[in-house]
Amino acid sequence: MRFTSETSSDGVAERLFHLDEIPGVLWTPEGATGTRPLVLIGHGGGRHKKDPDVMALARRFVAECGYAVLAVDAPGHGDRPVHAEYDRLATENQARAEADEELAPLIAGFHALVAHQTVPEWRAALDAVQALAYVGRGPVGYWGVSLGCGLGVPFVAAEPRVRAAVLGLGGASASAEVAARITVPVEFLLQWDDERVPRAAGLALFDALASAEKTLHANPGKHGDLPAFELDDSLRFFARHLN
């Protein structure tokens, strides 16, 4: 793990790093010492680790909850090189969708493929970050919607350090079986008029989660219209399960 920059503002320290070929960012309270909860944020498709939405949420987790927050670029995103095979598949899926194939199963199949790479990458990033004295091996949360849900479901199912997860804006097409291995508390965000994920697919993914405590939060609006008050609720959800 190689840190490449460290800055600080409004009490939040931000450290950019590379772990082998994975570019990442770690936010912590300025001057933090000792063990604390850690939240991994999975960014959306076409976004990256320092997307404004990711940054805003990360800074709230740090400033309001005292957590450490980790985000890494997904393959082919942010500071990572173009990934020829994923690019080819994405283009092919786009063409199939334009030929009137249903988009949701194509997206879900693609996410399942990419997750074979991201699950071990994210586990390695957790290992590295939790080895830092000012993060430590505290409880871990995962927050990710859209691509962050497609990649997050296999991650949360595979990684026992994750104690609670916010997921959503994703459907069951390819991930219902994997979702059935998730048993930690989940808050699942669904947009009632999502133009990318059919309502029934989102409800089916929520249904498939094996968690004894899981809550579906559905709001009117399209894929990108998640209401701001749901982020307030994400903070409370993690406070309930990680503190």
Q: Which of residues 150-189 bind a copy of itself (CB under 8 A)?
A: none
Min dist. Cβ of residue 227 to a copy of itself (A):
7
Min dist. Cβ of residue 142 to a copy of itself (A):
19
Which region, judged by CB under 8 A, interacts with a copy of itself, from 14-22, 39-47, 48-56, 225-233?
225-233
Decide: is 2 part of the binding site for a copy of itself (CB under 8 A).
no
Min dist. Cβ of residue 174 to a copy of itself (A):
22
Decide: is 233 part of the binding site for a copy of itself (CB under 8 A).
yes
**DSSP state letter for 144:** E
Phi-psi region of 134 (alpha: psi -120 to 50; beta: other; left: phi over 0): alpha
In the numeric block, which tokens belong to residue 69?
Answer: 């927050």
Distance from C-alpha of 134 to C-alpha of 36, rounded to nearest angstrom: 8
Which of 97, 124, 204, 216 touches a copy of itself (CB under 8 A)? Answer: 216
Distance from C-alpha of 168 to C-alpha of 209, rounded to nearest angstrom: 12
Closest CA to 167 of 122, 234, 220: 234
Distance from C-alpha of 199 to C-alpha of 203, rounded to nearest angstrom: 6
**DSSP state letter for 74:** P
Decide: is 105 part of the binding site for a copy of itself (CB under 8 A).
no
Which residues fall within 8 angstroms of residue 206, CB to CB, at 6 or more apart?
188, 190, 214, 216
Alpha-carbon torsion 48, 53, 58, 63, what sign? positive
Which of 93, 130, 183, 215 touches a copy of itself (CB under 8 A)? Answer: 215
Of 19 and 218, the one with the shorter C-beta distance to a copy of itself is 218
Q: Which of residues 185-214 bind a copy of itself (CB under 8 A)?
A: 190, 192, 203, 206-207, 211-214
Min dist. Cβ of residue 223 to a copy of itself (A):
17
Of 63 and 204, the one with the shorter C-beta distance to a copy of itself is 204
Which of 88, 137, 222, 240 touches a copy of itself (CB under 8 A)? Answer: 240
What is the size of the binding site for a copy of itself (CB under 8 A)?
19
Contact in structure between 214 and 188 (CB atoms under 8 Å) = yes
How long a stretch of residues is the chain? 243
Residues lying near a copy of itself in the complex (CB under 8 A) are found at 190, 192, 203, 206-207, 211-220, 227, 229, 233, 240
